[in-house]
A and B are shown apart, each in its own frame.
Chain A
Amino acid sequence: MIPEVNIPEPQPADRAPDPVGVPRRRLREYLALYFGGWRCERMIFALILGLLLIALMGFIRPQDATGLDPDYFWYLKINWRAQADLVLTGDSRAYLGASPQAMRNVLAGRRILNFGFDNCGYSPEYLKAAERVLDPASPHRAIVLGITPHALTPQASQLNQFNIMRDQLAEYSATKLRVKLVLSRFFHRFCDPFPPERVLGMMGIGTVTHHRCEYFADGWMGSVLDPPRPRDALDNVPSRYDNNRISPRIVQDLLDAAARWSKAGIKVYAFRLPTNAEMVALEDKWAPFDERAFQARFEAVGGRWLAVDQNAYATYDGSHLYRDAALRLSRDLGLALAAREAGERGPAARKP
């Protein structure tokens, strides 16, 4: 007679039985979840490989952004309140094109900030925010409007980076920002997004383009495109203004604000932000923009127009100024403002 034998149910090799009440087994099981059978743990291989790739990419990627952390740069801008004698406004041509530091070298003692944003349109809320940057107690309150035809279009008002940044950074508490800054100091090269085109460029597929930027606490971003792509912006002009002409309403709002500021004792200057000569002609045609007419209307409401040579400063993409050109423009702008102020104070003020 065959004796009755209790044969246990076969257990899958990697499925442990219930470990309740068996601390040792539970500990083993706990460790097994993460380390058990590591020789075949694909998850660990994938993680290691992923981290290696991130580290490799982090070390070999070109470091194009220097200076302040970009988020901190925008955070500062958005939160400026009552701290400037002179505020510069405008779109990317303004925040890439005018260095407050270079202007300060000419206009000594002035607190100057660059309140320019990407794609920035002169919407009423942007104009109000720019006004808030001025110190109400300052005797030299002045707003300098950097004019581009695009800043007067509806698209620029709607896609204004000022609005985007204000909404995005509103969620940032001081602590969150501090943590982010500390983390980004150490990890930014491993964490910051890196467009696939640039990875392909590094692998020899296509051209590697470096957009080298330096972020400054006064709101200026010095930049260089290497190698330059002089037709980049020019080719997009017709499509940029397709169904997106200069809005008379936006122009009127801007002039109304200038009139209001002038009445309130704020000096309002404006100048056409210099760019490539071909770009000027294209924008005049497609936007369309009549600079003389705009200047006349601006001066009629009490504004002061600054004449800037449109051909004196080199651009890297057909629109934005090289860092060196931006520094020269800023100095020239400072000199023009100083001369204008001296002229307004009378001949005596011009004497050394």
Chain B
Amino acid sequence: MLFNSIVFLVFLVGFFAVWPLVRARHNLRWTYITLCSFFFYGWWNWRYTFLLLYSGTLDYFVGLGIGRYPRLKKPFLVLSLLSNIGILCTFKYLGFFTANLSAALQALHLGRIPVIHLVLPIGISFYTFQSLSYTIDVYKGKLAPEKNFLHFFAFLSMFPQLVAGPIVRAYDLLPQLSHYKTTTERERWSGFELIMFGYFKKVVVADNLAPVINEAFKTWHLHGSGAFWWIIMVMFSFQIYCDFSGYSDIARGLARWMGYEYPLNFDHPYIATSIRDFWTRWHISLSTWFRDYVYFPLGGSRRGARWGHLNMWVTMVVSGFWHGAAWTFLIWGALHAFYLSLERVTEWPTRLMRLPGGRHLCIVVVFLLALVAWVFFRAPTFGQAIHVTSLMFNFGRWDWAAARELVWSRQMFLVALMAARHLYFHGRNARAQAGTQGAVATWIPWALQPAMVGLLIAACVFFRGPGSAFIYFQF
């Protein structure tokens, strides 16, 4: 079920109509959350609910096994890792591996093997990671194994975050789910603000930007102007931000309505003053997951600078690969690793900050670096990404005429709107404001806040772009 569909709105009304009646009793609450979440997930294809059921059941019993037989905790963990990563590899990466293997065999004149294409179950990368975090935390002794099957499944399958995150940790959500609380007006309001602003980001900003960007990449060989591609990439950077953070906002708002709190997933990433800062603001739940479960277990930077770089490269490349089974995603991850290495070695953000206006310069440089990396994220093939990048840096072909139409378009106005919102938070304690409050600026007088959100509702209805699925569903 898509958040931006009528079916989901009907589902939501039904869910919250019954929720106050069931939330007080533990087993009833967990059963209700689990059943509704499975219904939500199964609406797309009911067969894949068995995958979710399998992954969750296995990790539930692995958790119990680790608790009961501590001496066997390593084999239990390996079982969970193999199972979850195996599912991910089968559905997500088998096509990639077989295609590349076949190409390699062909290059060596050794024949070829059939390329296997399986349908990628929506949200598989998210719930397998969420489930894995549970078993790893139980293994490390950070978390007691959950004994109640329903409680565990309510955590794993909770519909707001099930298909596109944020990846909520077990130690964060399981204790929350063991209680219930009635929501205050303030919580309901901030949840509502988040939901409406999330919808605005998705259906107005991202969906209006999508056709222009899709068209540009579909007919990429026809556009020879560097200026054109810079503008397109600026648009894409805001499309992907609004698409994904919009989803996270809606998820956080829905959870808040239920009386639970999800962690902040995006914190105005385009005002980051360094690439390191960017990764503390972009898809925070994923980057902290990789930090805690890949980078730190590899040794982090404890064994010296060189090992630190190597571990960081491994983490970033794996993170790139998590986003999609294609070389372009690997390169996107590697490019960010390169940026981070460069930053560690040269400490350019610190040096630049010392200059007058250095903070602003840092923001611009980081944004431009992220923009170049986004080319590899968006382009469907490596060749196309290289072509676009080379045009962007070919200042001899800086034909403004081709870009002028884009600059004065409605889409660019939306980009400017979102950029202005970023700038508003520049220099403020954005995390505190965005994390604990709603999404609409808090300086707006109390009485005017409903007017602002009322406008957002009307904008979502009338100014929405052509509907499409959330980009991160494919991951």
Contact assessment for B450 and A191 in the assembled complex, using a CB-CB cutoff below 8 Å? no
Using Cβ atoms and an 8 Å threshold, which residues of chain B touch A159?
215, 218-219
Residues of B contacting A43 in the complex (Cβ-Cβ under 8 angstroms):
188-189, 192, 450
Taking CB as reference atom, which chain B residue is nearest A33?
Answer: B20
Q: Identify the closest chain A residue to B24 (Cβ).
A: A20
Quick check: which of A47-55, A276-284, A297-305, A308-316 contacts chain B, the rest being far away?
Answer: A47-55
Is A9's CB within 8 Å of the partner chain B? no
User: Which among A123-131, A192-200, A320-328, A341-349 touches the partner chain?
Assistant: A192-200
| A158 contacts B218, C-beta separation under 8 Å | yes
Bound CA–CA A43/B451 (angstroms): 10
Complex formed: what's the CA distance from A43 to B456 in Å? 13
In the assembled complex, how far is the CB of residue B387 from the closest CB belonging to chain A, in whole angstroms?
12
Determine if B21 and A239 form an interchain contact, defined as CB atoms under 8 angstroms apart.
Answer: no
Contact A243 B224 (CB under 8 A): yes
Judge if A226 is at the interface, Cβ distance under 8 Å.
Answer: no
Contacts of B24 in A (CB 8 A): 18-20, 26
We find that the number of chain B residues with CB closer than 8 angstroms to chain A is 40
Q: Chain B interface (Cβ within 8 Å of chain A)?
A: 20-21, 24-25, 181-185, 188-189, 192, 196, 215, 218-219, 221-224, 401-402, 405, 410, 413, 446, 449-451, 453-458, 461-465
Decide if B184 touches A15 in the complex (CB within 8 Å).
yes
- In the complex, identify which listed stretch (A34-42, A90-98, A110-118, A133-141) lies at the interface while the others stay far away: A34-42
A155 within 8 A of B: yes
B222 touches A194 (CB 8 A): no
CB distance from B295 to the nearest CB of A (A): 40
B10, chain A: closest CB distance, angstroms? 12
Pairs A–B under 8 Å by Cβ, sample size 19: A12-B184, A14-B184, A14-B185, A16-B182, A29-B20, A30-B20, A33-B188, A43-B192, A46-B449, A46-B454, A50-B458, A52-B454, A53-B454, A53-B455, A159-B218, A193-B464, A195-B410, A199-B462, A242-B222
A83 in the interface (beta carbon within 8 A): no
Kindly report which residue of chain B lies nearest to residue A196, judged by CB atoms.
B463
A244 at the interface (CB under 8 A from B): yes
Chain A residue with minimal CB distance to B19?
Answer: A33
CB distance from A234 to the nearest CB of B (A): 14
Chain B, Cβ-Cβ closest to A17: B182
Q: Enumerate chain A residues within 8 angstroms of B455, measured Cβ to Cβ.
A: 49-50, 53
> From B6, which residue of chain A is reached at the shortest CB distance?
A183
Which residues of A (155-196) have their CB < 8 Å from a CB of B? 155, 158-159, 190-191, 193-196
Complex A-B, nearest 3 residue pairs according to Cβ-Cβ distance, in ascending order: A50-B457, A49-B454, A45-B450
Which chain A residues lie closer than 8 Å to B188 at the CB level?
Answer: 33, 41, 43
Q: How many residues of A contact B (CB 8 A)?
A: 44
In the complex, residue of chain B having the shortest beta-carbon distance to the beta carbon of A51: B457
Closest to B455 in A: A53
Contacts of B462 in A (CB 8 A): 54, 57, 193-194, 199
A318 at the interface (CB under 8 A from B): no
Please give, as numbers and ranges, the residues of chain A lying within 8 Å of B454 by CB-CB distance: 45-50, 52-53
Are A33 and B182 also in contact (CB < 8 A) when A50-B453, A242-B402 are? yes
Determine if A219 is an interface residue (Cβ-Cβ < 8 Å). Answer: no
Q: How far is the CA of A53 from the CA of B454 in the complex (A)?
A: 8
Which residues of A line the B interface, CB within 8 A?
12, 14-16, 18-20, 26, 29-30, 32-33, 37, 40-43, 45-54, 57, 154-155, 158-159, 190-191, 193-197, 199, 239, 242-244
Complex Cα gap A45–B448 (Å): 10
**Given A42-B449, A46-B454: A54 in contact with B463 (beta carbons within 8 A):** no
A30 touches B21 (CB 8 A): yes
With most chain B CB atoms within 10 A of its CB, the pick from A41, A45, A46, A243 is A46
Contacts of B224 in A (CB 8 A): 242-243
Tell me the smallest distance from the CB of B36 to a CB of chain A, in Å.
17
Contact in complex: A54, B457 (CB < 8 Å): yes
List the A residue with the shortest CB-CB distance to B459: A196
Q: Is there contact, CB below 8 Å, between A154 and B410? A: no
Taking the closest CB of chain A, its distance from the CB of B445, in whole angstroms, is 12
Q: Provide the bound-state CA to CA distance between A15 and B180, in Å.
A: 11
| Cβ-defined contact, B185 with A47, below 8 A | no
Residues of B within 8 A of A20 (CB): 24-25
Q: How far is the CA of A48 from the CA of B453 in the complex (A)?
A: 10
Pairwise interchain contact B21-A26, C-beta atoms closer than 8 A: yes
Tell whether, in the assembled complex, residue B222 and residue A46 are in contact, meaning their CB atoms are under 8 Å apart: no
Contacts A41-B185, A190-B461 known; 10 new A-B pairs at CB < 8 A: A15-B182, A32-B182, A43-B189, A46-B196, A49-B453, A49-B457, A53-B454, A57-B458, A159-B218, A196-B463
Min distance, Cβ B220 to any Cβ of chain A, angstroms: 10
Cα of A184 to Cα of B410 in the assembled complex, Å: 26
Partner of B185, one of A18, A29, A40, A52: A40
Closest CB of chain B to A231's CB: distance in Å? 15
Q: Which residues does chain A contribute within 8 Å of B458, judged by CB atoms? A: 50, 53-54, 57
Least Cβ–Cβ distance between B221 and chain A, in angstroms: 7
Inter-subunit contact B222/A244 (CB<8 Å)? yes
Q: Which residues of A contact B182 (CB under 8 A)?
A: 14-16, 29, 32-33
Q: A92 vs B444: C-alpha distance in the bound complex, in angstroms?
A: 47
Given the complex of chains A and B, what is the CA–CA distance between A16 and B446 in angstroms? 24
Residue in chain B with minimal CB distance to A240: B222
Residues of B within 8 A of A239 (CB): 401-402, 405
| Complex CA distance for A237 and B24, rounded to whole angstroms | 66
